[in-house]
Structure 1
């Protein structure tokens, strides 16, 4: 059988291997200088490092306390006692309602209590005299019963008047509307001279500012992953998880907080569960409603092998990397990809130190020889691009093809 008919009867992969064994190349290219050698590729060693997995989410910031300030008594707004948008402390005055009518109610209740107290004293004295006369049959038992009832009625009227006095004093207090929580005010929705009712309208809105909540939704798979880690003891509790946050105009995740709430059920419509992280906001840099990015630390760190993510390719339904083995022969290696960390993918199926092709994947064929150029890697295992030939720091020229490739 001629070489041409043999090549037509073989698969493309077998053709490549056959041509490589015969010293021929499918693209007609030679070695490093185009003189018939194996094609050049860039390789980097797989690196073992401590892996700390994490998940990223999008979140919205909310204030722990959001209060719509409303009037608790009806009246005319007398003064607005804050600047719109300013920070206030709990108990600081916000609005004043004309309290003259309420003060008049206090005076009226005081006078009514004094009158009723006199009636109680009189009823008590009459009952005491009648009880002395009943022993000599000067007063009938019926009159004694009536006087005792009159005393109890007078005492009840006095207590009702005292309750009315408490309510009148509360109305005077409610006329001075204060901040229910510490935080930042919104704009004043009413101005002096306007008549307001009980609870209507909203005078202003107050949001707390010392802390901020970041609410985010985690998928069902993520939730199950963390629940499994908790059962296996790799996560002590949700509160032990490190939470980092970055705003839309920030690089990375410069803010650190803690996870303080996970909902008790998943939303069946979205197959997700709501969680919340809390961050300190004493310097006021976070505003409720902002978009944020959340980075949630996973289980305890472990030793894992990482390769550049671009080195992973697909062979039908498998994920593989191309490893340069003995005699510079390309070996396809099935891998199970894991977390992506700083551009490096955690993989299972490659040993630390094995040379993985990172550049020139289209020139490498399983079972065929290549001319590898080993790249340096940084502290994270990421390959450092080789400097152009002739410049300081340039990588040495690739070694000649091994004897096995001839």
Structure 2
């Protein structure tokens, strides 16, 4: 009996041992609690400095004086005294037209004047005699009046002859075509020997002033108060003209704002303005499209950050400020913003703000600051390849 009991106890012990061994082998491993992963971000420091504000627009270069040279009398073009592209001054002789017919007309008018003047002299001598004879009734009053009327008639004829001479002289002056402005001669449309007519619309060529020169541009009508303040300021506002954009384009010249149009263009809601440039190197050319840049104001001791630093919240703007190895939210007031920079209030100068990687951040998140990407130039690339 006792032997059976011992056998049962041993069998139970074996079963319990097998069960414990099976449970220890099949139970789940304990879960380890890991520390939160740091979020990689890039940062910038808030900079305090004087920041100028600019406005940009597209403008067209215009000549201050551009004239199409046309004939004012009919005739054959006898000489062209300038070349295409030549620089001329106001009053320079450009071309001549055959003047023989006009000179003959002038000579005829001068001859008629001499004839009328001789007749007038004789009539005036006779009038003096008749005046003396009327004192003792030597001639009738009617004869004297007729002689006086003849003198007046001949005086009018002399005046008409003089007017004909002046008209012929004006026509003669038109046979010498002179430059009305200082500028550059354009492409010639007519050669020597052609018969010119006053009705010809094409003209001989154009003379266009290059220096100084103007740029006309349009800005939104909201800029009107700013433009008015710049025009009426004590110092003319500087206007820069670029070929291409203002970041990596070529600066063609620096001028001054001179004029605002007298009305807003209703269909576009823009206001036209004009700036004048000194152009001795002739980098600005009539008809050229340029980008203009005007400094409208300057913010003293402003806090400047890149535009991507500032985030838009539900109620206000904010930025992530790095404090140790974590970030915190700081409210931000946007003072001014454009495509290149943002002026803010709220943070302090020198604060480290997150500029890239904000999408995964929340207050108190751990961050890992990445180095700014380096710009690899051609020399560096060649050295690396070696």
Smaller-chain TM-score bracket: 0.7 to 0.9
- The alpha carbon displacement at 1:354 in A equals 2.2
Correspondence for 2:333: 335
Query: Comparing 274-283 with 344-353, which one deviates more in the overlay?
Result: 344-353
Correspondence for 2:344: 347
Structure 2 CA distance, aligned partners of 1:139 and 1:361? 121
Correspondence for 1:313: 311
Correspondence for 1:403: none
Tell me the SS of whatever aligns to 1:102: helix
**Structure 2 unpaired stretches of 5+:** 1-31, 377-386
Structure 1, residues 384-405: CA drift from partner, whole Å, max 9, x if none?
Answer: 65799xxxxxxxxxxxxxxxxx
Structure 2 CA distance, aligned partners of 1:160 and 1:283? 53
Are 1:370 and 2:357 counterparts? no
Correspondence for 1:356: 353
Tell me the SS of whatever aligns to 2:262: coil
Structure 1 CA distance, aligned partners of 2:195 and 2:231? 57
Structure 2 CA distance, aligned partners of 1:139 and 1:318? 113
Correspondence for 1:323: 321
Tell me the SS of whatever aligns to 1:323: strand
CA contact (8 A) 2:226 2:296 kept: no
CA contact (8 A) 1:60 1:289 kept: yes
CA contact (8 A) 2:60 2:216 kept: yes
Correspondence for 2:64: 64
Correspondence for 2:87: 87
CA contact (8 A) 2:227 2:260 kept: no
Are 1:203 and 2:201 counterparts? no
Tell me the SS of whatever aligns to 1:264: strand
Structure 1 CA distance, aligned partners of 2:279 and 2:85? 17
Distance 1:251 1:312, change over 3 A: same
Correspondence for 1:18: none
Structure 2 CA distance, aligned partners of 1:317 and 1:123? 104
- The alpha carbon displacement at 1:127 in A equals 0.7
- The alpha carbon displacement at 1:246 in A equals 1.4
- The alpha carbon displacement at 1:306 in A equals 0.8
CA contact (8 A) 2:335 2:342 kept: yes
Structure 1, residues 313-339: CA drift from partner, whole Å, max 9, x if none?
Answer: 333575432223477332152432514
Q: How many residues align?
A: 342
Structure 1 CA distance, aligned partners of 2:80 and 2:260? 40
Are 1:247 and 2:248 counterparts? no
Structure 1, residues 155-184: CA drift from partner, whole Å, max 9, x if none?
Answer: 111111111111112222111111111111
Write out aligned runs for 1:207-218 (5 A).
Answer: 207-218=208-219
Write out aligned runs for 1:96-107 (5 A).
Answer: 96-107=96-107
CA contact (8 A) 1:96 1:177 kept: yes
Structure 2 CA distance, aligned partners of 1:175 and 1:76? 10
Correspondence for 1:122: 122
Correspondence for 2:135: 135
TM-score (norm 1): 0.77
Correspondence for 1:222: 223
Structure 1, residues 267-315: CA drift from partner, whole Å, max 9, x if none?
Answer: 1111111100010112322210111111111135423111112212333
TM-score (norm 2): 0.81
Query: Comparing 162-171 with 261-270, which one deviates more in the overlay?
Result: 162-171
Query: Comparing 205-214 with 81-90, which one deviates more in the overlay?
Result: 81-90
CA contact (8 A) 1:54 1:297 kept: yes
- The alpha carbon displacement at 1:185 in A equals 1.3
Structure 1 CA distance, aligned partners of 2:37 and 2:152? 117
Correspondence for 1:379: none
CA contact (8 A) 1:43 1:359 kept: yes
Tell me the SS of whatever aligns to 2:204: strand
Structure 1, residues 221-244: CA drift from partner, whole Å, max 9, x if none?
Answer: 1224445xx3xxx88528621111
1:284 to 282, 285, 303: 282
CA contact (8 A) 1:212 1:281 kept: yes
Correspondence for 1:395: none
